[in-house]
Amino acid sequence: MSSSPAPHNDRTDAAAFPPGEGSPLQSPLRFLPGVGSARAALLEKLDLRTVDDVLWRLPRDVLDLTQVKSPVDLVEGELQTVRGVVAESDSRETRRGTLTAALLDCGDDFVRALWFNAPWMRQKMQPGSRWLFSGKPKKKDGRWEFSHPRLQQLGEEDDDAHGGVVTRYGLTEGLRLHEMKRVVHAALEQGGEYVSDPLPAPFASANSLIALTTAVRQVHEPRSMAEYESARRRLLFDDLLEFQVGVALRRRLWGRRSNPPVLPVTAKIDARIRRLFPFPFTNGQNAAIRDIITDLQSGRAMHRLLQADVGAGKTVVAIYAMLVAIAAQHQAVLMAPTELLAMQHWRTIDGFLEGSRVRRALLTGSLTDSKRRDVRERLAAGELDLVIGTQAVIQEGVNFAKLGVAVIDEQHKFGVAQRSRFAGQSSMAPHVLVMTATPIPRSLCLTQFGDLDLTSVTDLPPGRQKIVTSRVTAPTSRRKAWEFIRGRLQQGRQLYVVCPLIEGDEATGRAGAAHVFEQLQQSELAGVRLGLVHGQLDRDDRDERMEQFRHGELQGIVATTVIEVGVDVPNATLMVVLDAERFGLSQLHQLRGRIGRGSHQGYCFLFSESNAPDAVARLSALEATSSGFEIAEKDFELRGPGDVLGTRQHGELPLRSADLVRDRDLLEETRTAAMQLVESGEIDTAEFAPLKLIVLDRFAELMDLPRTG
């Protein structure tokens, strides 16, 4: 990858220092009173380095003790809360079952709590433990009684003599709550007054936001839940707004920077392209193509994300877009994340283009130097129309004479910077179509891909059958599964066996693909022609085996997730995933997509011995649904963004306080506000200069935004 900055990205020296550098907000935590380097190291484990970091770290939760009543003030039948220490507890058998009772010392009086048939409560109600009881009390024999109250256990440190709202923070081993609170307090003392509000007052009030300086204080030391909630909203809003303004600026830049070619699609061109395919397009493909045609003729550069379920036929849409460019005497490029995928696309596209005059080449890292040089020269001279490759296509030295359309497959493996690299490739910015392997949850679309227009294809080519998916746990079921598979293999179908090849496992041989391969050949799949494919294998060997598999010389492939994306062998209809609980939902769905590609019924067996609730939840979700859109949302809820995208690096969003799952609504709200600020040009006015500075400071690099203009 070229490391020289693209021309649009030069930064003036004046802007090279982030605003506020040297301010008390940027001060390292070890300089705070009472912190020191040992505690600073603990705080660093929580990603807290500066005063500012602490101020923006929201409490993990809060306890509302403002409404806590003293027993003498309780009234019958209303929902109320008391706080106290368990004085004694006991259980006894009655005619109605076990009755557990606890006596809570609330300071000036006692209350009683009762539970029927919940003997474990005895264990929880240890004398000396501190609790909040909430419920509707009744007076019995002169004492207030709570039946099955809602409970919240308090630590010693939560014991706040004057009630109020108690904040609690995420902690780490060696750092206790009261210590964390001292740090927060010190940070407020030290930095609180230096927090400046980047938002103009009218904008803040139009969005029901309190002042930032107030919010920073109130979120950590609220006097009421209302104070806490409004403060929290303000911090989350700013966090997400800044992110979304960055995304909106990025989006504007796509439009501005480019002087894209206008690529017409006549009826004749359309018919000529469609004739290349042996099938009619699906409604979803047609709709996507309509979006793309509009973009290509708009005079604005296309920046579109095409999301579709596995097997929906994105490649066809990509080919269409590229051929439109070529028909208009422009070049087209398709970039895939791996060699395997690039090869596969090459094969597919080469097949469709058989007999056409499109001048095409494959460009990957494994070409010989002289071959690579040849492709580059022909590209630069305009003697090639179409190139398919890996990241080699955006490497330094690759220049297109007249690039019209660039397609990026499996975008989640690439970042924004790589996307924008295409723009620097050619005097004209090309139209860019980005494709994802599986659907992406909406909140990630709004962030990671928020600068792109979105097209979703929700239907599949006709004749596809739902893949029968079963979670296999018991040894007997496993034997039956293998038996079933042998039967299908005899009928001519083909099989993938997927192993989670985890570093170290391979060394010990445990559950590693190589080991499994040996074992299967000796037992369950004796006599079956099997091949082994994994990432550490020599590329030639790997390609050769995939080739043998494609031609049916091999009946089965034992593999790691190298087969995860894109591999297309329609006769392969059987899949076994070993240790399936080790994979994420979206990843499993993607894997399963490998066997839903032909007309025969597909069967996917998820082998797993795990009883962990989240593993069971994930695997059951796969049994139940075949919609990648549903699965993406579910996965996101269960595991968060990093894992959904499969790579922590690109998945981690640099948000300070917000959580994409929890704060979805606010995400939508801030997106609307950010788009409006940028589209109206308000973001470029003096009033919003402080906001823009923060945005650039946080996101210029990540989003490849210029510091000026």
Residue ranges that bind Mg ion, judged by CB under 5 A: 566
Would the CA dihedral through 682, 685, 691, 694 be positive or negative?
positive
Considering the complex, what minimum distance in angstroms separates the CB of residue 407 from Mg ion? 11
Binds 285: which of Mg ion, ligand ADP, none (CB < 5-8 Å by kind): ligand ADP
Q: Which does 586 bind (CB under 5 to 8 A by kind): ligand ADP, Mg ion, none?
A: none
Q: Which residue is closest to ligand ADP by CB? A: 313
Of 79-87, 311-319, 361-369, 677-685: span binding ligand ADP (CB under 6 A):
311-319
CA distance linking residue 167 with residue 311, whole number of Å? 49
Minimum CB separation from ligand ADP for residue 589, in Å?
11
Among candidates 625, 178, 244, which has minimal Cα distance to 448?
244
State which residue, 179 or 568, has the beta carbon closest to ligand ADP: 568
User: 281 or 482, CB closer to ligand ADP?
Assistant: 281
Which of 313, 531, 556, 641 contacts ligand ADP by CB under 6 A? 313
Question: Residue 471 and residue 604: Cα distance in Å, rounded?
Answer: 9
Biggest distance spanned by C-alpha atoms of the chain = 97
Q: Where are the beta strands (DSSP E) in 372-466?
A: 386-389, 403-408, 431-435, 453-457
**Based on CB atoms, which residue is closest to ligand ADP, 282 or 555?**
282
Three-point CA angle 381, 386, 391, nearest 5°: 95
DSSP 182-242: HHHHHHHHHHGGG----S-HHHHHHTT---HHHHHHHHHS-SSHHHHHHHHHHHHHHHHHH
| Calpha distance 517→540 (Å, rounded) | 19
**Interaction of residue 322 with ligand ADP, rule CB under 6 A:** no
403 binds, among ligand ADP, Mg ion, none (CB under 5 to 8 A by kind): none
Q: Is residue 165 at the binding interface for ligand ADP, with CB under 6 A as the rule?
A: no
Q: Which is nearer to ligand ADP, 123 or 286 (CB)?
A: 286
Give CA–CA dist 251/248, Å, rounded: 5
Angle, CA of 264, 312 and 548, to the nearest 5°: 110
Which partner, Mg ion, ligand ADP, none, binds residue 626 by CB below 5 to 8 Å per kind?
A: none
Which position among 188, 212, 312, 501 is part of the footprint of ligand ADP (CB under 6 A)? 312
C-beta separation of 597 from 311 below 8 A: yes
Binding partner at 308 among ligand ADP, Mg ion, none, C-beta below 5 to 8 Å by kind: ligand ADP
**Residue 319 binds to ligand ADP (criterion: CB under 6 A):** no
Stretch that binds ligand ADP, among 76-84, 313-321, 552-560, 615-623 (CB under 6 A): 313-321
- H or E element at residue 476: helix 475-490
Binding mask 245-284 for ligand ADP (x = CB under 6 A): ----------------------------------x-xx--
Q: Applying CB under 6 A, does 597 fall inside the site for ligand ADP?
A: yes
585-592 vs 628-639: helix axis angle to the nearest 10?
Answer: 150
> Residue 651 CB: number of other CB atoms within 10 A?
17
Distance in Å, CB of 317 to ligand ADP, minimum? 8
Binding of residue 344 to ligand ADP (CB under 6 A): no
- Locate 23 and state its tokens: 């301010």
The alpha-helical segments, DSSP class H, found in 551-688 are 585-592, 613-624, 628-639, 641-644, 648-651, 664-679
Reference 526, options 551, 555, 553, 569; nearest CA is 555
* 194 interacts with ligand ADP by CB under 6 A: no
Query: What proportions of the chain, in percent to the nearest 5, are helix, strand and coil?
Result: 45, 20, 35
Which of 308/407 has CB closer to ligand ADP? 308
Which of ligand ADP, Mg ion, none is residue 641 near (CB under 5 to 8 Å by kind)?
none
In terms of CB distance, is 80 or 307 closer to ligand ADP? 307
Q: How far apart are CA 494 and CA 488, in angstroms?
A: 8
Spatial CB neighbours of 692, under 8 Å, sequence gap ≥ 6: 245, 683, 684
In the bound complex, what is the minimum distance in angstroms from residue 461's beta carbon to ligand ADP? 3
Minimum CB separation of residue 274 from ligand ADP in Å reads: 10
Identify what 597 binds: Mg ion, ligand ADP, none; CB under 5 to 8 Å per kind: ligand ADP
Q: Residue 74 half-sphere exposure, CB side, CA atoms within 13 Å?
A: 30
When computed from its CA atoms, the radius of gyration of the chain, rounded to whole angstroms, is 31
Does residue 596 touch ligand ADP according to CB under 6 A? no
Q: Which does 281 bind (CB under 5 to 8 A by kind): Mg ion, ligand ADP, none?
A: ligand ADP
For Mg ion, give the closer residue by CB, 566 or 706. Answer: 566
CB of 428 to ligand ADP, least distance (A): 28
Within 13 A of 469's CA, how many CA atoms are on the CB side? 24
User: 82 touches which of ligand ADP, Mg ion, none (CB within 5 to 8 A by kind)?
Assistant: none
For residues 453-492, which are near ligand ADP according to CB under 6 A? Answer: 461
For residue 410, the minimal CB distance to ligand ADP (Å) is 9
Smallest gap, in angstroms, from Cβ of residue 422 to ligand ADP?
A: 21
Among 314, 471, 542, 650, binds ligand ADP (CB under 6 A): 314
Instruction: Candidates 71, 311, 500, 646: give the one binding ligand ADP (CB under 6 A).
Output: 311
Lookup: tokens for 82: 């008391």
The residue whose Cβ lies closest to Mg ion is: 566
Q: What is residue 649's three-state secondary structure?
A: helix
> What is the three-class DSSP state of 408?
strand
Footprint of ligand ADP on 528-587 (CB under 6 A): 568
Cα(455)–Cα(285) distance, rounded to whole angstroms?
10
Q: Does residue 308 interact with ligand ADP by CB under 6 A?
A: yes
- Between residues 22 and 351, which has the closer beta carbon with respect to ligand ADP? 351
Which residues touch 242 (CB under 8 Å, ≥6 apart)?
A: 691, 694, 695, 698, 699
Q: Which stretch binds ligand ADP (CB under 6 A): 3-11, 184-192, 312-320, 498-506?
A: 312-320
Min dist. Cβ of residue 261 to Mg ion (A): 26
Q: Smallest gap, in angstroms, from Cβ of residue 314 to Mg ion?
A: 5
- Interaction of residue 285 with ligand ADP, rule CB under 6 A: yes
How many residues form the binding site for ligand ADP (CB under 6 A)? Answer: 15
Closer to Mg ion by Cβ: residue 109 or 568: 568
Task: Could you list the beta-strand ranges (E) of 352-394.
Answer: 360-363, 386-389
Indicate which single residue of 316, 393, 658, 695 sits in contact with ligand ADP (rule: CB under 6 A).
316
Nearer to ligand ADP, 183 or 445 (CB): 445
Stretch that binds ligand ADP, among 309-317, 321-329, 530-538, 548-556 (CB under 6 A): 309-317
Cα-based distances in Å from 491 to 409, 456, 498, 517, 557: 34, 37, 21, 22, 17
∠ CA 394-399-403, nearest 5°, is 90
Binding site for ligand ADP (CB under 6 A): 279, 281-282, 285, 308, 310-316, 461, 568, 597
